[in-house]
Amino acid sequence: MNSQSTLTECPSCHSKNVRAVGKDEWFCLDCDWDNLSAVTGEMDALISTLRHGDAEARREAAQALINIGDFERHLATSDDLTPLLEALDDIDDDVRYFATVALGKLGDRRALPKLKQVAREDTATLAREGAKTAIERLRSEGF
CA distance linking residue 137 with residue 53, whole number of Å: 29
Give the pTM. 0.63
pLDDT per position as a tens digit, 3-29:
445 678 888 888 888 777 666 777 777
Nearest alpha carbon to residue 10 among 39, 36, 30: 30
CA–CA distance, 33 with 73 (Å, rounded to integer): 14
Domains and CATH numbers, the chain: 1-35 (no CATH), 39-140 (1.25.10.10)
For residue 18, what are the β-bridge partners? 28
Sign of the Cα torsion 71, 87, 121, 123 reads negative
Q: If residue 19 lies in a helix (H) or strand (E), which one and from where to where?
A: strand 18-20
Q: How confident is the model at residue 93 (pLDDT cuts 50, 70, 90)?
A: very high
